[in-house]
Amino acid sequence: MITTKQRSKLRTMANTLRPSVTVGKFELTDAVVKEIEVALYHRELVKVSALKSCEISARTMCDEVCARLGCEAVQCVGNRFVVYKRSDKDGIEHIEL
């Protein structure tokens, strides 16, 4: 569980991020969740965008992704959300909280 200060730092970092994963018209598929998981492994902080025609809300998608991948929800605004998970990958610059 991340603290409020840590969440604030992650939100600041997420402001400059471009969405790495885009969810299409339909719900979260296994392929999309796997793509988010791979992005978390390589970057630790991932912004996900949903198309306006998507039938499921970004908040619901964020909750489902966090439950399935064990990551932390950082922010959910409009049709975008940001998630964080510390990576085990060597050779990357880890985010210091």
Comparing 27 with 71, which gets the higher pLDDT? 71
Q: Which tens digits make up the pLDDT trace of 12-53?
A: 999 999 999 999 887 788 999 999 999 999 999 999 999 988
Domains of the chain: 4-84 (3.30.110.60)
User: Is this prediction's pTM over 0.75?
Assistant: yes
Which residue in the block uniquely carries the two structure tokens 């998630």? Answer: 83
Q: Whole-angstrom Cα distance, residue 66 to residue 50?
A: 16
Indicate the pLDDT class of residue 62, thresholds 50, 70 and 90: very high
- Rounded to 10 deg, the angle between the 30-43 and 58-69 helix axes is 70
Q: Which amino acid is at 68?
A: R
8-state DSSP, 78: T
